[in-house]
Amino acid sequence: MLGASVSRIIFLLTREFAKWVLIANVIAWPVAFYAMRSWLNDYPYRIKIGVVIFVISGLVALAIALMTVIYQAVKAAVANPADSLKYE
């Protein structure tokens, strides 16, 4: 059999997408923290914004991205290339 295995294709694709999701979280966390802090300062009863909410949201975003990429990668990796070439 020629080419990469299905697991190798999935690993390469998920690594790239995970990197971009993590970079997006690092950029978004300070912006969201500042926006939430300034918005919540308008209320008479304030709460502290913890790091936990940002970590949980980042993990949820990463999980959704990885599930989507893994599903699409498996679908593409197990597809027969002849079927794609037949229509072109």
Residues 6 or more apart from 61 whose CB is under 8 A from it?
21, 24, 25
Q: Which helix (H) or strand (E) holds 58?
A: helix 51-77
40: CB partners within 8 A, 6+ apart:
46, 47, 49
Q: Where are the domains of the chain?
A: 8-76
pLDDT tens digit sequence for 70-85: 898 888 777 777 776 7
Specify the DSSP element, H or E, that contains 33.
Answer: helix 6-40
Q: Residues 7-58: pLDDT tens digits? A: 887 888 888 888 999 999 999 999 999 998 888 888 888 788 888 989 999 9
pLDDT tens-digit series, residues 60-70: 999 999 999 88
CB 78 within 8 Å of CB 18: no
On whether the CB atoms of residues 8 and 73 are closer than 8 A, the answer is no
